[in-house]
Chains A and B, each alone.
Chain A
Amino acid sequence: MFDDLTELYHQLLLDHNKSPRNFRVLPDANRIAQGTNPICGDNYTIYAKMDGDVVQELTFQGSGCAISKASASLLTESLKGKTRAEVKAMFDKVRDLITTGHSDGDLGKVAALSGVHKFPARVKCALLPWHAVAAAVEGRGETVSTESEKE
């Protein structure tokens, strides 16, 4: 009965929502950033351990809707071992994917987020952890929000 919803709630996203990966505090993190959408109540902390230019470890904690949580979980899996420049390149591709449904290149499991663009009210949920990780990796210790993002 929810056929059209499986585009948004891809099976992989439901799985990551139920069993989020790397869902823990990283005690030896040297980069931490907060992503919060106060209107929704989505609130995540991204912990990164950078070794020079490379993301050695990536974990997250927090709470929010299924889309934001699954997006954060996929993010921690897909960015581990990437350089700062690769993270930035990935961020741009994922943002295209979430907002338009299309993106250049192979995004692996993250491609499960391609249905989000059909649900404009939920784009900000999927984007939130990606903005937070960008802030973390670039060493901006700020709190980011995607609630003012154009839907």
Chain B
Amino acid sequence: MTDRAPAENHAGGQRLTAMHPHQAVNWPALRQDFPILDQQVHGRPLIYFDNAATSQKPRAVLDALVHYYERDNANVHRGIHELSNRATAAFEAARVRAAKFLNARSADEIIFTRGTTEGINLVAAAWGTKFIKRGNKILLTEMEHHSNIVPWQLLAERTGAQLAYLPINGDRGLLEPGRLDEFLTSDVKLLAMTHISNSLGTINPVAEYCERARRRGIVTLIDAAQSAGHGPLDVQQIGCDFLALSAHKMCGPTGFGVLYGRGERLAETPPYQGGGEMILSVDFQQSTWKPAPHRFEAGTPDISGAIALHAAMDYLDGIGRGNIAHHDQELGAYAFEKLSALPGIRLFGPTMGRAGLVSFLLDGVHAHDVVTVADRSGVALRGGHHCNQPLMKRLGVESTARASFYFYNTTAEIDRFVEVIREIQMFFGK
């Protein structure tokens, strides 16, 4: 069941950036910034191709964490002593940095979260509970990650709202912009969609979708988990109301993330969780809240997470996010082309303009067997439903194997990976 890439030009998704990088980057030298990459796994050089699950961390980010805990650690916003002042300044500087990274209008539009999942849950729980009513529709796409489905299902259960899904065009995994209008009905209150699909590598034209939704007064949320750190990201250019990202997929630490919320949306949104940090005053029966963003950050935050994310953003902008997007997409295209030449392989996602990842199935070999054998060759892949069970159902498969790249990966690693895939096919007798 070989599914060769069709040649039509229109099959491509959206590019994150122009084709030609404006400056030369010494990509092999960047590998030296990642201590973890220099090791053998099962006696073979590690080839880390599970970047869509989590990226590795450069020395600069690790150093920032160590420096904070060795020199500045204290609680934020409430102390008067020197260390608390330093920690507070560094924490709020990270907020300003994140606003700049996303081109938000103000640092007050930046909420720190535990990651993309919490960002989406915050919008569903706080904004959604107030504004989504019985009979309203929440519009998603068939390629959403569970984290951009389940929070809306919980909200729909509470409010009596309904979910609707923009369809994809089969294995190529593209939305059909021509069909958007038939889904943007008057009962739709929210459009929540992913920027880049973690299973398909599709890059969605989110600015166009947000613009068309906004014209109808529909609030928009973008899941940027796979795009943040992989290319330029400008919330004003996208025109979304909310955008959520995870630090750990962009060279930062796990358990930390950013939710961008347009100022006017955050102003109308009630608190998410209650506790310290988010209140102005508390009485026995009632309390008053701080304005955004602190209204949404109850409790002592992950201060070191913010500081490490700041370092990660500096690191990525030092390389140039346009350069990273170009390099990632070249790796994705190279892998897609090399794998397309193999017999007995089914490839998913767009043929052109894809992000730096490739999902595939080998005839007669289950994805978990592919991943187990690849691991013994030093190649770290992911196999399974990738938290995309509805999408897998739509594609008529139970799971796929996935190789996902970042700027420290090389075409030589992809050549080795393709060799390993050939060996796996032979091993399982196909």
Binding site for B on A (CB under 8 A): 1-2, 4-5, 8-9, 14, 17-18, 38-41, 43, 63-67, 119, 121-122, 125
Which listed residue (A2, A4, A64) contacts B366, Cβ 8 A? A64
B376 at the interface (CB under 8 A from A): yes
CB pair A121 B372 closer than 8 Å: yes
**A39 contacts which chain B residues (CB < 8 A)?**
384-385
**B365 contacts which chain A residues (CB < 8 A)?**
66
**B399 contacts which chain A residues (CB < 8 A)?**
40-41
**A43 contacts which chain B residues (CB < 8 A)?**
398
CB distance from B416 to the nearest CB of A (A): 12
Which listed residue (A4, A14, A38, A41) contacts B376, Cβ 8 A? A4
B427 at the interface (CB under 8 A from A): yes
Q: Report how many A-B pairs have Cβ atoms within 8 Å.
A: 54
Contacts known (A1-B423, A5-B427); A65 close to B384, Cβ less than 8 A: no
| Chain A, residue nearest B392 (CB) | A41
B337 at the interface (CB under 8 A from A): no
**A122 contacts which chain B residues (CB < 8 A)?**
368, 372
Q: Render B363-397 as a binary contact track against A, CB cut-off 8 A, 1 for contact.
A: 01111110011001100000011000100100000
**A40 contacts which chain B residues (CB < 8 A)?**
368, 384, 399
Which chain B residues numbered 341 to 373 have a C-beta less than 8 Å away from chain A? 364-369, 372-373
CB distance from B398 to the nearest CB of A (A): 3
CB pair A2 B376 closer than 8 Å: yes
CB pair A41 B369 closer than 8 Å: no
B428 at the interface (CB under 8 A from A): yes
Q: Render B392-414 as a binary contact track against A, CB cut-off 8 A, 1 for contact.
A: 10000011000000000000000
B265 at the interface (CB under 8 A from A): no
B178 at the interface (CB under 8 A from A): no
| Chain B, residue nearest A6 (CB) | B427
Report the separation of the CA atoms of residues A56 and B365 in the bound assembly, to the nearest whole angstrom: 32
| Chain B, residue nearest A9 (CB) | B427
Which listed residue (A2, A65, A121) contacts B427, Cβ 8 A? A2
Report the separation of the CA atoms of residues A61 and B365 in the bound assembly, to the nearest whole angstrom: 17
CB pair A8 B372 closer than 8 Å: yes
CB distance from B1 to the nearest CB of A (A): 14
